[in-house]
Structure 1
Amino acid sequence: MTLSTARKYTTTLGGRELSIETGKVAKLVSGAVTLRYGETVLLVTAQASERPSTLDFLPLTVEFEERHYAVGKIPGSFHRREGRPGERAILSARITDRQIRPLFPKGYRQETQVIITVQSADQQNAPDVLGALGASAALSVSDIPWKGPTACVRVGRVDGAYIINPTGEQLERSEMDLVVAGTRDAVMMVEAGASEADEELLVGAIEFAHAEMQGVLSLIEQMRAEVGKEKFEPVLPSDAASELVPELALAAREAGLREALLTPKKKDRSVALKGLRDGLIARHVPDAEAEGASEKAALLKSAWEKVEKAELRRLILEEDLRADGRDGRTIRPIWIEAPYLPRAHGSALFTRGETQVLGTTTLGTERDEILIDDLTEETGDKFLLHYNFPPYSTGEVKRMGGQSRREIGHAYLAKRAIRAVLPPFEQFPYVIRVVGDVLESNGSSSMATVCAGSLSLMDAGVPLRSAVAGVAMGLVMEEGRYRILTDILGLEDALGDMDFKVCGTAQGVTALQMDIKIGGITPQIMREALAQAREARLFILGKMTEALPAPRSEMSLYAPRILTTKINPEKIGSVIGPGGKNIRELEAMGAQITVDEDGTIRIFSSDADAAQRVLERIQNTTRQAKVGEEFEGTVVKTAAFGAFINLFPGQDGMLHISQMSEERVNAVEDVMNVGDKVMVKIVGIDDRGKIDLIRPELEGKIAPRAPREGGRDRGPRPDRDRR
């Protein structure tokens, strides 16, 4: 029985029905919707706390909960229940977070939680973008003050045509995987991976996505109008600090704010700005112990942040000057050292200004691939990229734990950027792990990781199709004026309006990520940013080429060597042996071995000689004899009609008594005995694999032996017996 409060709204998106239902389940939460697309079903809820928190930032959390029952699986963990979110779930949560966060009221401090639960997944309609749609709908019908709606779609390109929300099968054939979120009038967020795509192609995909999402935006607006709750008035912090800004700004300019902001080094600039701020506060609050002094000092600190931000933005817009003295297009000085570490398989130290990343590459075997246990089909990943951001990189002291969501997000972006140029596994059969350790950070550390990671792969001898570089672009926009910034600093990221990361080769873009802190940007600004990013990328690639022109022709002495051979699949059992006995003996020789179902065998060892010995033994064990081959065999058994000769391990042939000599042989033992070495030649192999031999020197001098019948030996020939 359907409750009277339940309302269902439908539209078409990408040629399939999208339905959003509210008022049926989870009715105690502020906003709840059930979204269906194909056979993928998500429950999305939104709830805010009653009172604001004491935190000085927006306390928004987005959780993406994958339920294994959604695909009819029992979790593979020890406890057989879902644990901490996996990497894919965290990345999906970030997609939602990045599109909804900028649309909360400025100063909003009520703790807000959005929970996306995947209840059914058809493995064709990806739940990540659907979760973002559900969050927009749940927030829109809730009482939470939020300036949406937004919509989120995925774009692929197959056979020259853009596709909205491509299926899993279509995405495998697509030359791009682009996620776009936006409002009615502008794009809010973009994330993409591509195969060296042209910049104009990407802008076209973004415009296509923005046009296609309009129907969904209309649907959510209709829901809000018909069933949405009245928004509550948030408790916003007092803006008393703004009243102090004009006076403080004048005093700061007179005291040298411009010069302090233009200090080249990050730490020197921080010291200069702090000294200037503390001096001005001390002038206004001479007695720090007086009644009300601490409150007034806090107001002045808040006002100072506004003054500092306004002056920096003014310098950028009016004078084309940035915090370290550069103009909008200049890239910080770059220096590179590759290799950097003696024992790593590949390493590179990449430094751009005050951002420095150590990239390392480790080559492993198929046993090192990571197994993925989520709502997709069970697969493994042979390319790993990890990004580490320790507190010392910014000169701070913080608690260290597991990887943060930010670290996972930055690693994923760098991974997408580099994966596009990796050789196929069949060509370079290694599992590859790249690590980016941030040693210094003053902006764009994820892009430095792309550069350092690419260089470390080349240093390891991985045959990349091309080097990959990344650059972070920024934007300052006020009252119709704007300036795009190349290679932004941390300060410019914090005080600017856009963080636009672009990665690629000289041929095109392989990954990008854009987050907007204002209402959105136009396609024209996006085109300009991509063109400026291309100019910067080519400059950085030039510096990388100077340091390491191409992948090294030889791998590190410490990297494992891989030898590959292919055998008849029917022979796999002889390699593995009963209970794995044979393969354990082979690995005891100093190598790791993988065996594929098609008969492909890969031998991994850091000892080239050991790998070669294992290969030879496998080849001997699985070798298939061919007519015409000659061997020095060993007699292993004699019988009245001939001798059995071992040609190579696991393979014997039969030398008939009639093929042993030009003269009549009365007994095999008159010519040879067990253990004798004998040169023989294969003259026939029957349909059961039985091998007939002859002494090579007798070929053509004696009559060939009659073929076997039914695979059984006929014994001595009658004409020979009558001699």
Structure 2
Amino acid sequence: MVTAVSSKRESTLDFFPLTVEFQEKFYATGKIPGGYFKREGRPTNNATLTARLLDRPVRPLFPEGYRFETQIVATVLSYDGTFPVSTLATIGASAALHISDIPFNGPTCGVQIARAGGQFILNPSNQQLEASDMDVIVAGTPNGILMVEGELKFVSEAVALDALKAATESFKPVFAAIEELRKLTGSKAKRPFTPYKVDEAFDKEVRAFLTPKINAALRIRVKQERYAAADAAKKEADEKFVKTVTDKDTAALRKKDLGMIVENLKYEVARAMILDDKVRIDGRDMKTVRAISNEVGLLPRAHGSGVFTRGETQVLGTVTLGTGDDEQMIDSLMGMEKRKFLLHYNFPPFSVGETGRMGGQSRREIGHGNLAERALKPILPDFEKFPYTIRVVSEVLESNGSSSMGTVCSGILALLDAGVPIKGNVAGIAMGLIKEGDKFAVLSDILGDEDHLGDMDFKVAGTREGITALQMDLKIDSVSLEVMETALAQAKEGRLHIISEMEKVISKPRGEISQYAPRIETIKIKPEKVREVIGSGGKVIKGIIEQTGVKIDIEDDGTINIASADPEMTKKAIAIINQIIAEAEVGKVYKGKVVRLMDFGAFVEIMPGTQGLVHISELSNERVRQVSDVVNEGDDIDVKVLDIDRAGRIKLSHKAALPQ
């Protein structure tokens, strides 16, 4: 179920107050939520990411200047676990807006596309996604693509473009269904909306004064100096055109108008510089990537660290290696999920020279972290070969454009520094677009201002072999496949350049992991022996951990991962486990402990949990009248294995182990 509500009272905010919520109801899958309260709480990361997928395609299609509080709420009422619900929610949001009276230039459509065996699959099941080399969500209007989000496994630009084409061709039936729904609901007329316009005379006068000053400010290459020059120009205009107005209401209106004029001038001047003068704000051409520098091994106690700097964007990446105990457990609609790879992205306010609230994660941080995580996932080693839980943390130290792609690059540097045997080196780049009519320019490695004043933010990450993650957002109605093809080709060129720069510092994983990281040894035992290693109520395994201080993870298939920073303790734990699972060998002599006396012989434990019988006739070379004449409970004696029958019963001899 998706609902859309828009207030009829205009807000005083200077931006469009749109909020989108995605609610996961556990009753939809017949489950009771975990935790103490047994009810749904704050949105999960997955719910937040899905809400962003709903928000991004519809936001650009509201009228410019629309300032009425609007809220879209998607609620999962029933879910069979077969197909992902995100695309259904995307279509539902579009339909709810399209049939309402809310001003909205829709409809939009969202589709998920995968590829298996060289064939594209539209809206795949979760099972089909597991066998696919891509998982991409594409949204658009009847005019073209509007949003892209997804992960890929080293897919070429040509295949990615073919996937986008296939996705857009599938939109038509959905648009027809939404239009039919609108007719069935009465084709409600949209609310009249007229955007606010600045007084023409005031606009003309202020523009004549400010245009040369804003033009000069936008050609300053250092971000903070550029901002200071633009602010100084605005302050001059305020002194000249606003503070001279005596009427308070008129002065307040003029102040608002001045802010709009300044933003409009920045928008127009920056775009004209690119389209007409062929020069960008910082003086680069359309394809040049800013200067790059890289460092690794900065933090002595972190298991891996790297700093990636590109222009005025700088990101510190760290890697921590953990054991199975460190896996993240998530109670989701799909059931309990385990995550062995975590990427956390932090964007503190000081990174953009501002103050602000610290603590907690914003939706933006969750979204950017998810994009970087998707970019790095395909190159991680198989868990069977490298049985670690891996956590990458991104600390954005300075930001002026695409800190999420900086996170990808710093993450790779940190992984290499940590000695993680990754499958390839990944870099990411953010592409921009300036489009006026038929004229357009695709920009490589965009600045923050180019993102703000441009029409597209298109992030592409991948290795030399292919793409691993895509994300695109537009501020205009849609973009053609021609533009997408140009952007993908230009992004590949920039990505390869960035990888080359990174590899000048470190190109392969270090030969060994950090001395402070746990060493994990993996051994394999027979599945039927797992019970013996664990023991009743976990008694045996707890004893091993107490003796050695190691961490032990046991899988049902008999795989045992033993982790410790002390190699000697790891060896000791392995030796204990080998003793527990050891099986008696016929003809071998063991030192055992007498555990029970019977009239016909003595039971001797030759290894933990393994006992055999020494018949009274096998206790001595002499005739024995009573078992207790030779041995007593608790005695340590040497015994030889004579035979093991089909039932696993062990026949022992003490006299055969005695010196001849």
Query: TM > 0.5 between the two?
Result: yes
Letter in 1 for 2:396: V
SS of match in other structure, 1:237? coil
75-84 or 682-691, larger mean C-alpha shift: 682-691
C-alpha displacement of 1:196: 0.8
Q: Sort the Cα spacing of 1:585 and 1:247 in 2 relative to 1 into closer, same or farther, 3 A.
A: same
After superposition, residues 149-228 of structure 1 pair within 5 angstroms as 149-227=107-185, 228=187
| C-alpha contact (below 8 Å) 2:617/2:623 kept by paired residues | no
Matched residue SS, 1:547: coil
Secondary structure in 2 aligned to 1:149?
coil
**Structure-2 change in CA distance of 1:243 and 1:225 (3 Å):** farther
Residue 381 of structure 1 pairs with residue 349 of structure 2: no
Q: Distance in 2 between matches of 1:268 and 1:681?
A: 87
Local SS of the residue matching 2:293: strand
> Given the alignment of the two structures, is residue 595 of structure 1 paired with residue 554 of structure 2, yes or no?
yes
Gaps of 5+ in 2: none
CA RMSD of aligned residues (A): 2.6
Higher Cα Rg, which structure: 1
Question: Higher relative CO (CA 8 A, sep ≥ 6), structure 1 or 2?
Answer: 2
Q: Which amino acid aligns with 2:284?
A: R
More off after superposition, 559-568 vs 351-360: 559-568
Per the alignment, residue 236 of structure 1 pairs with 195
Q: Equivalent residue for 2:312?
A: 354
Cα separation, partners in 2 of 1:321 and 1:685, compared to 1, 3 Å: same
Residue 30 of structure 1 corresponds to: none
1:39 matched residue in structure 2: none
Q: How does 1:43-54 map to 2 (within 5 A)?
A: 43-54=1-12
Q: 3-state SS of the aligned residue for 2:77?
A: strand
Report the number of matched residues.
655
How far is 1:247 from its partner?
4.9
CA distance in 2, matches of 1:493, 1:245: 25
1:278-297 correspondence runs (5 A): 278-285=235-242, 287=244, 292-297=250-255
1:416 aligns with 2:393: no
Secondary structure (helix, strand or coil) at the match of 1:344 reads coil
Return the alpha-carbon distance in structure 1 between the equivalents of residues 230 and 508 of structure 2.
44
* Equivalent-residue separation in structure 2 for 1:171 and 1:223 (angstroms): 30
Gaps of 5+ in 1: 1-42, 703-723
1:127-166 alignment runs, 5 A limit: 127-166=85-124
Q: Does 1:86 align with 2:86?
A: no
After superposition, give the CA deviation of every residue in 1:682-719 in whole Å (9 maximum; x if it has no partner).
443112222235689999x99xxxxxxxxxxxxxxxxx
Matched, 1:575 2:533: yes
Asked whether the equivalents of residues 109 and 236 of structure 1 are also in contact (C-alpha less than 8 Å), the reply is: no
Q: Deviations over 1:658-701 (max 9, x none)?
A: 7788xx533499997568876655443112222235689999x9
Question: Which shows bigger deviation, 266-275 or 107-116?
Answer: 266-275
User: How far apart are the structure 2 equivalents of 1:434 and 1:274?
Assistant: 38
Hey, what's the Cα distance between the residues in 1 that align with 2:477 and 2:171?
17
Q: What residue number does 2:220 align with?
A: 263
Of residues 471, 477, 496, the one that matches 1:513 is 471
Q: Is the CA contact 2:307–2:315 (under 8 Å) kept in the aligned structure 1?
A: yes
1:47 deviates by 1.0
Does 1:604 pair with 2:563? yes
Residue from 339, 343, 348 that aligns with 2:297: 339
Alpha-carbon offset, residue 286 of structure 1: 6.5
Which of 81, 90, 98 is equivalent to 2:56? Answer: 98
Shift of 1:545: 1.4
| CA contact 2:515–2:565 (8 Å) conserved in 1 | yes
Q: Separation in 1 of the partners of 2:321 and 2:628?
A: 59
Deviations 1:627-678 (A, max 9, x none): 35454556667778766554333334455677788xx533499997568876
Deviations 1:219-265 (Å, cap 9, x if unpaired)? 2122224422111113532333x65555544444544x444212221
What is the deviation of 1:287?
A: 3.3
Give, in whole Å, the separation in 1 of the partners of 2:464 and 2:346. Answer: 27
CA distance, structure 1, for counterparts of residue 222 and residue 588 of structure 2: 75
Amino acid of the structure 2 residue aligned with 1:287: T
Distance 2:201 2:272 in 1: 20
SS at match of 2:21: strand
Partner residue in 2 for 1:527: 485
Distance in 1 separating the partners of 2:120 and 2:215: 48
Superposed displacement of residue 608, structure 1: 2.1
Pairing of 1:381-460 with structure 2 (within 5 A): 381-460=339-418
Q: Does structure 2 conserve the Cα–Cα contact (< 8 Å) formed by 1:630 and 1:680?
A: yes
| Contact 1:245–1:306 (8 Å) recurs in 2 | no
Deviation at 1:173, TM superposition (A): 1.0
Offset of residue 506 of structure 1:
0.9
Distance 1:243 1:160, change over 3 A: farther
Query: Do the aligned partners of 2:206 and 2:241 also contact (CA within 8 Å) in 1?
Result: no
Deviations 1:98-153 (A, max 9, x none): 00000000000111111111100011121111001011111111010100001111
**Rounded Cα–Cα distance in structure 2 between residues aligned with 1:294 and 1:215:** 50
CA contact (8 A) 2:589 2:657 kept: no
Secondary structure of 1:378's match? Answer: strand
Give the corresponding residue for 1:371.
329
Distance in 2 (CA, whole Å) between partners of 1:688 and 1:221 is 74
Q: Which residue is equivalent to 2:514?
A: 556
Q: Provide the residue aligned with 2:270 in structure 1.
A: 312
Q: Secondary structure at the match of 1:120?
A: coil
Contact 2:617-2:624 within 8 A present in 1 as well: no
Aligned counterparts of 1:346 and 1:106: Cα–Cα separation in 2: 46
Whether the 8 Å CA contact 1:248–1:304 is kept in 2: the answer is no
Instruction: Please state how far the C-alpha of 1:370 moved relative to its aligned partner.
Output: 1.6
How many angstroms apart in 2 are the aligned matches of 1:123 and 1:310? 48
- Distance 1:656-1:163 versus aligned 2 partners, 3 A rule: same
Q: Once the two structures are superposed, what CA deviation does each residue of 1:472-497 show, in whole Å capped at 9, x if it has no partner?
A: 11000112111111111111110000
How far, CA to CA, are the matches of 1:563 and 1:671 in structure 2? Answer: 47
Structure 2 counterpart of 1:275, one-letter code:
A
TM-score by length of 2: 0.93
648-657 vs 351-360, greater mean Cα deviation: 648-657
1:566–1:442: structure 2 CA closer, same or farther, 3 Å change rule?
A: same
**1:10 matched to which residue of 2?**
none
How many Å apart are 1:550 and its aligned residue?
1.0
Distance in 2 (CA, whole Å) between partners of 1:633 and 1:581 is: 22
Q: Quick check: 1:120 aligned with 2:85? A: no
CA distance in 2, matches of 1:550, 1:680: 54
CA distance in 1, matches of 2:628, 2:330: 66
CA change 1:693–1:579 in 2 (3 A) is closer
Shift of 1:340: 1.6
CA contact (8 A) 2:532 2:580 kept: yes
**Identity across matched positions, percent:** 47
TM-score, structure 1 as length reference: 0.85
Q: Give the Cα–Cα distance (whole angstroms) in 2 for the partners of residues 670 and 580 of structure 1.
A: 35
Deviations 1:413-439 (A, max 9, x none): 111111111112222111111111111
CA separation in 1, counterparts of 2:208 and 2:441? 25
Residues 629 and 52 (structure 1), Cα distance of their counterparts in 2 relative to 1, 3 Å cut: farther
Q: 1:696 to 1:413 in 2, by over 3 A?
A: farther
Amino acid at match of 2:217: A
Q: 1:697 to 1:587 in 2, by over 3 A?
A: closer
Which residue, 666, 670, 673 being the options, matches 2:623?
666
Q: How many angstroms does 1:546 deviate by? A: 1.6
Q: Please tell me whether the aligned partners of residues 144 and 231 of structure 1 are also in contact (alpha carbons under 8 angstroms).
A: yes
CA distance in 2, matches of 1:248, 1:124: 59
Q: Which amino acid aligns with 1:164?
A: L
Conservation of the 8 A alpha-carbon contact between 2:554 and 2:560 = yes
Give the structure 2 partner of residue 4 of structure 1.
none
Distance in 2 of aligned mates of 1:371 and 1:95: 24
